[in-house]
């Protein structure tokens, strides 16, 4: 929901850091891979209830996720890089939820399982429409620099990371927070499903 506004605010800062990375010979794909590997460290840290350390890994991953795109725009954007980025993002998001499940299986299992199913809903509606949007030449004015067509919603990147931050700061309330976030994600999934279907129906 807030991603387009935040992108416009953060883009100048990320560009300055990206310029230094380009001068140092760092590629966008290198940042993507390193950021993903660091982010995946959150999984064992969450499992062992080291929540603040896990939050630090999550933060580094998200910073890298912004920087890889900034570096790509200064050098050369590729579909392969965009594919790598979005694939790693979905694996990372799911691993964070799985980490909370491992931290307290008796308490968190149902809420974590529901959230993972929810991520399938938001992810599948997003990716399926993105694939067909290219086929039908549907523009994406809010995200002109993205490799994929981004469908909006009330739970996008910023809202997901905010949820992860709240999970890490107040893990004792994970169940309640996860249920609320799941409900918001389902609103996003349903709205994407409806909007995507109606859009493609009139393009047939």
Using an 8 Å Cβ cutoff, are 21 and 73 in contact? no
pLDDT in tens, 120-134: 999 999 888 887 877
Query: Two tokens at 18?
Result: 């990206």
The residues near 74 (Cβ < 8 Å, ≥ 6 apart) are 15, 18, 19, 22
Instruction: Give the model's pLDDT for residue 70.
Output: 92
Structure-block tokens of residue 115: 């959230």
pLDDT: which is higher, 153 or 114: 114
Domains and CATH numbers, the chain: 3-201 (1.20.120.1760)
Mean pLDDT of the chain: 89
Lowest mean pLDDT among 106-110, 165-169, 188-192: 188-192
Rounded to whole angstroms, how far apart are CA atoms 110 and 94?
14
What average pLDDT does range 2-23 have in this prediction? 81
pLDDT at 3 over 70: no
Between these two residues, 183 and 79, which has the higher pLDDT value?
183
pLDDT for 154: 82
Out of 15-19, 34-38, 93-97, pick the least confident.
15-19
For the chain, the distance separating the N- and C-terminal CA atoms, rounded to the nearest angstrom, is: 28
Percent of the chain with pLDDT over 90: 65
Q: Tell me the average pLDDT across 100-128.
A: 95
Contact by Cβ (8 Å): 192, 122: yes
147 has pLDDT over 60: no
142 pLDDT band (50/70/90 cuts)? low
Of the candidates 96, 63, 57, 89, the residue with the CA atom closest to the CA atom of residue 174? 96
pLDDT of 27 reads 94
Q: Please, are residues 190 and 126 in contact by the beta-carbon 8 Å criterion?
A: no
- Alpha helices per DSSP H over the chain: 3-23, 28-40, 42-47, 51-74, 79-103, 105-136, 157-169, 174-201
């Amino acid at each position: 929901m807030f991603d387009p506004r935040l992108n416009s605010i953060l883009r100048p800062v990320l560009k300055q850091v990206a310029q230094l990375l380009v001068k140092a010979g760092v590629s966008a794909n290198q940042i993507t891979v390193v950021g993903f590997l660091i982010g995946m460290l959150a999984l064992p840290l969450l499992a062992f209830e080291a929540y603040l350390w896990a939050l630090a890994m999550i933060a580094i991953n998200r910073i890298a996720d912004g920087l890889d795109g900034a570096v790509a725009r200064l050098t050369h954007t590729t579909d392969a890089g965009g594919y790598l980025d979005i694939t790693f993002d979905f694996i990372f998001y799911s691993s964070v939820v799985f980490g909370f499940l491992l931290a307290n299986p008796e308490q968190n299992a149902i809420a974590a399982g529901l959230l993972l199913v929810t991520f399938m809903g938001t992810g599948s509606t997003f990716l399926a429409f993105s694939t067909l949007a290219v086929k039908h030449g549907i523009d994406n004015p809010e995200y002109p620099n993205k490799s994929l067509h981004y469908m909006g919603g009330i739970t996008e990147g910023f809202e997901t990371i905010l949820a992860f931050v709240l999970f890490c700061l107040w893990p004792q309330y994970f169940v309640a927070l996860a249920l609320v976030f799941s409900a918001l994600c389902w609103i996003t999934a349903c709205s994407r499903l409806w909007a995507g279907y109606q859009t493609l129906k009139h393009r047939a």
